[in-house]
């Protein structure tokens, strides 16, 4: 069964990432909610319908949410006047939060007792990828639910992947972000070395991007957000700390050592202490400038 695109679709959480994702679903039948009124403005101006959580639960067969953490998802679903108390059998909740796979599996189990369906569908590629429709959507859930949601996912992006059962999407996203952190820290470290060896930072990144050391940091982070002088990627140190910490927690639960991940995470914790949870991940480059004396920014 596929989703009837004429039916209302709900979207809860219109922050930096959620807003960009929800905008890809924009239509008069899109019902949106965010506790911050300013986040609703571009949607109401573009013709979407602002609604309460209760109205979304009553009207929408498919409800997306993109929230800061699985703990916030827990509150939205099962807190006082939460969605779960108002949803009906057959509705589907799509959690696009970068969440905890263990919590997702537990939430799915409890919703299943009410015959409510749960799919985790975190994304990777940043706000730019969300705006351009190229972001990776990493889906965990039954194949039948994945197929039902596919027409809606295809409105958001051309890059959609079924990762496995419930929780697989969130597990893969956490692992991806730990790998992103490792590559980012390593790239800043190596570019700092090259600058100190007399290589122009822009030239270093251009060549690395065409070489075997290329990664997201050489492709996007360094050219778009650091070499440009913008120093803003739209992804906070706190969110990276949460996601990478989830991945290391998964490893700890399985008694798997992650020495490279732990080293990168330790560097991130220093940045957390310096710049705070709300600091942009691009600011981590400043720490390497101060540590090595290499000027990476213009």
The reply to whether domains 9-165 and 172-292 share a CATH topology is no
Q: What's the N-to-C CA distance of the chain in angstroms? A: 53
How far apart are the C-alpha atoms of 217 and 177, rounded to whole Å?
12
How far apart are the C-alpha atoms of 249 and 256, rounded to whole Å?
10
What pTM did the predictor assign? 0.91
Total residue count of the chain as it appears in this document = 298
pLDDT, tens digit, 9 for 90 and up, residues 152-200: 999 999 999 999 999 999 999 999 999 999 999 999 999 999 999 999 9
List phi, psi (to 5°) of 50. -70, 145
List phi, psi (to 5°) of 200. -60, 135
Domain assignments of the chain as residue spans, ordered by start: 9-165, 172-292
pLDDT, tens digit, 9 for 90 and up, residues 10-58: 999 999 899 999 999 999 999 999 999 999 999 999 999 999 999 999 9
Cβ-count burial 59-69 (b if 16+ within 10 Å, e if not): bbbbbbbbbbb
Average pLDDT of 82-90?
97
Would you name the residues annotated as active-site residues?
173
Check: CATH 1.20.1640.10 for 172-292?
A: no
74: confidence class by pLDDT, cuts 50, 70, 90: very high
CATH H-level, domain 9-165: superfamily: NAD(P)-binding Rossmann-like Domain (3.40.50.720)
The pLDDT of residue 5 = 54
């Amino acid at each position: 069964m596929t989703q009837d695109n004429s039916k209302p679709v709900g979207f809860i959480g219109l922050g930096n990432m959620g807003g960009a994702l929800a905008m890809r679903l924009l239509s008069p039948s899109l019902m949106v909610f965010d506790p911050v009124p300013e986040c609703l403005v571009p949607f109401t101006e573009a013709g979407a319908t602002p609604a309460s959580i209760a109205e979304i639960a009553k009207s929408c067969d498919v409800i997306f949410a993109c929230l800061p953490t699985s703990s916030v998802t827990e509150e939205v679903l099962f807190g006082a006047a939460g969605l779960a108390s108002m949803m009906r059998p057959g509705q589907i909740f799509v959690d696009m939060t970068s969440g905890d796979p263990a919590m997702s599996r537990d939430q799915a189990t409890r919703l299943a007792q009410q015959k409510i369906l749960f799919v985790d569908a975190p994304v990777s590629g940043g706000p730019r990828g969300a705006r351009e429709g190229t972001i990776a959507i990493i889906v965990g859930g039954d194949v039948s639910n994945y197929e039902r949601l596919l027409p809606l996912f295809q409105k958001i992006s051309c890059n959609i992947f079924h990762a496995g059962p419930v929780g697989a999407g969130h597990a893969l996203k956490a692992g991806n972000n730990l790998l992103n952190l490792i590559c980012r820290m390593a790239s800043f470290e190596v570019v700092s070395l090259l600058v100190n060896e007399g290589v122009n930072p822009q030239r270093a990144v251009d060549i690395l991007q065409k070489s075997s050391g290329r990664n997201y940091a050489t492709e996007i982070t360094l050219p778009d957000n650091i070499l440009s002088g913008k120093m803003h990627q739209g992804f906070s140190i706190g969110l990276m700390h949460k996601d990478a910490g989830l991945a290391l927690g998964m490893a700890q639960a399985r008694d798997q050592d992650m020495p490279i991940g732990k080293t990168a995470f330790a560097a991130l914790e220093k940045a957390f202490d310096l710049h705070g949870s709300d600091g942009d991940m691009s600011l981590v480059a400043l720490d390497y400038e101060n540590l090595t004396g290499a000027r990476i920014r213009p």
